[in-house]
Amino acid sequence: MNYALKINAVLCCLTLFSSAANTQEEKTTGAIDEYSSVRTLNLSHALTYALANDPWLSASRHQEQAIMAQSIMAGTLPDPTLTLGLMNLPTNGYAFDQEGMTQFKVSLSQKFSRGDSLSLKQKSLFQSSKQYPWQRADRLAQVKAMVTEFWLNAYRAQYSINLIEKDKELFTQLIQITEASYASTQGKTRQQDIIRAQLELTRLEDKLLILEQQLHSAKNRLAQWLPITMLVKSLDDKFIPPVALTHFNTLEFSQLMQLLMAHPAIVAIEQSVLAKQTQVSLAKQSYKPQIGVNVGYGYRADTPMGQSRADLLSVGVSIDLPLFTDNRQDQHVKSAISITEATKTQKRVALQKLKGMYFKEYSQLSQLQKRNTLYQNILLVQMAEQSQATLNAYTRDDGDFSDVMQARISELNAKIDALNIQVDQHIIIARLNYYISSLDSQVMGELREEQPDEH
């Protein structure tokens, strides 16, 4: 049974067992149908679907809307308090007109914020909401890098399987030729040559099983973003590799630092820092008094003799005086300042991490480029020539069968190594693109959505 068919059969079984849990996929059937007519899964389709259907992005938008709503709410004064009361009612008769002090009172009170605390709290929440679009841009860049890497790993396994399948047919033919030569007792064929050929064929079978496992594992990792109906398809043998967003070899350090400073993850932290700084100003407002105003109107009934009594009007002002600030206001301000400094430190740590990971990946890319040039221009050519030369010598009865097998195995391993080098190059370019994602128009397009004006 063909190995690709085996993998498809396994994934089809997974579809049956996971159908009950695919409610999210049912909501995106329109997007799935768009690719249903495509026979193979290419990298472009995988990226398009993953970026359009990541539920994390939807959750982030809802969080941003929630913070924006809180910002509007925070800029509003608390509701006034209405009080209704019956005052000084005599208990020896409960007559409303018996005593002059008896009155029906209506009062209204309103508290005002300390200093500019309302506007500052509103500003802080608005600034905090501005980090979410940058976080979504960072998420898009991460998903692009991860999906590209997982797809390329699956492609690596599938293409390696194809290479081994082709050479497996040749090894089978060599075994048949060797067995025929041994049976005819002509030439230098020995029984150990037949055993050696069968052993190498068994090893190829083992490699195929390992590669099948790797292919299945890579596709399973893609299942985080892609539906099973897309993963059951074979990967496209011809694909457009990820394009570098810049010439990494000519990128100067100052240019790199500018790109890293503009990275969505860093800018998101900067937006958080701005919000924390505003919260420091908000905490300092606690030193200012809070003022409250109340107005009351007391209605009094006429006397039992019919004489009119004057109604009563009350006006008052309350002031909350923060006189003892050591354990409350001072600590509040210190806490806000410490949180701000911690967020600034978080930004520096994130920037250092991005810089370190960039140079790590770039150093690997440089070495892979040198190895790829060596393999494509020299090593693969030499391996092919050696393999053909040993086969020609063996067919002329002028060489050993073990040399033929060794040469063929070495050529196959060289082809797989060359494939691994090229795939690793593409993966590292995808990772490097993440670090300079401020140049990626698809990622930064998240920021072009209409944003509300600052309050």
In-domain check, residue 8: yes
The pLDDT, as a whole number, for residue 5 is 38
| Any domain includes 405 | yes
- Over the stretch 368-384, which tens digit does the pLDDT of each residue have? 999 999 999 999 999 99
Q: Among positive and negative, which fits the CA dihedral 33, 37, 38, 44?
A: negative
- Residue 309 counted as domain residue: no
Predicted confidence (pLDDT) at residue 48 exceeds the cutoff of 50: yes
DSSP string, 180-210: HHHHTT-TT--HHHHHHHHHHHHHHHHHHHH
Question: Is 221 domain-assigned?
Answer: yes
Tokens of 286: 């606690």
CATH number at residue 351: 1.20.1600.10
pTM of full prediction above 0.85: no
Q: How much is the mean pLDDT over the chain?
A: 84
Model pLDDT, residue 282: 92
Q: With bands split at pLDDT 50, 70 and 90, how would you rate the model's confidence at 199?
A: confident
If pLDDT is split at 50, 70 and 90, which confidence band does 454 have? very low
Q: Which residues contact 96 (CB under 8 A, 6 or more apart)?
A: 89, 102, 104, 301
| pLDDT above 70 for 155 | yes
Q: Give percent of the chain above pLDDT 70.
A: 86
pLDDT in tens, 378-423: 999 999 999 889 878 877 777 777 788 888 889 999 999 999 999 9
Task: Evaluate whether 437 touches 145 at the Cβ level (below 8 Å).
Answer: no
Could you read off the pLDDT of 205-233 as tens digits, one per residue? 899 999 999 999 999 999 999 999 899 89
- The structural domain count of the chain equals 1
Please give the residue range of the domain that contains residue 33: 3-78+116-287+325-448
Range name among 30-34, 41-45, 115-119 with the lowest pLDDT average? 30-34
Asked if residue 230 belongs to a domain, the reply is yes
Statement: residue 203 has pLDDT above 80? yes
pLDDT of 1: 39
Nearest C-alpha neighbor of 291 from the set 326, 327, 334, 321: 321
DSSP 221-243: HHTTTS-HHHHTSEEPSS--PPP
Query: Which one-letter DSSP state was computed for residue 302?
Result: P
Q: Is residue 86 part of a domain?
A: no
The residue-averaged pLDDT of 104-133 equals 92
Nearest CA among 35, 419, 48 for reference residue 232: 35
Report helix, strand and coil shares of the chain as percent, to nearest 5.
Answer: 70, 10, 25
pLDDT over 90 percentage in the chain: 55
> Is 315 part of any domain?
no
Per the domain annotation, does 63 fall within a domain? yes
- The model's pLDDT over 335-353, given as tens digits with 9 standing for 90+, comes to 999 999 999 999 999 999 9
